Amino acid sequence: MLLKTYYPSPGFPPISISGDKCTLKCRHCSSVYLKNMIPSETPEKLTKVCRKLDENNAVGILLSGGYNKDGKLLNLERMLPAVKKIKKETKLIINIH
């Protein structure tokens, strides 16, 4: 079995689908990590950012963001059609965290 690892970098940037918003405010993060991610809170913005990354030969993206009080990733359901489109139209590897 082969295990590939990817680290956040210009070629594999982290993208937040919630901007800097997170309801949980966990002690280990308190939304600080979200401030260093590329904000993409709408399907249109996510698609635009990913197309640009693909044009610039990025390997992939880490798709993340803040969570609601139930521990569910904010905006994920709304973003899934855009994620499918990005997967179909680009060469980017998409990791969702």
CA dist 63 and 29 (Å) reads 17
Structure tokens at 93: 């590897």
Q: How confident is the model at residue 10 (pLDDT cuts 50, 70, 90)?
A: confident
CA dist 52 and 22 (Å) reads 26
For the stretch 32-89, pLDDT in tens is 899 999 999 999 999 999 999 999 999 999 999 999 999 999 999 999 999 999 999 9
Q: Which residues contact 73 (CB under 8 A, 6 or more apart)?
A: 17, 18, 64, 65, 66, 67, 96
Q: Which of the pair, 26 or 81, is modelled with greater confidence? A: 81
Residue-level length of the chain: 97
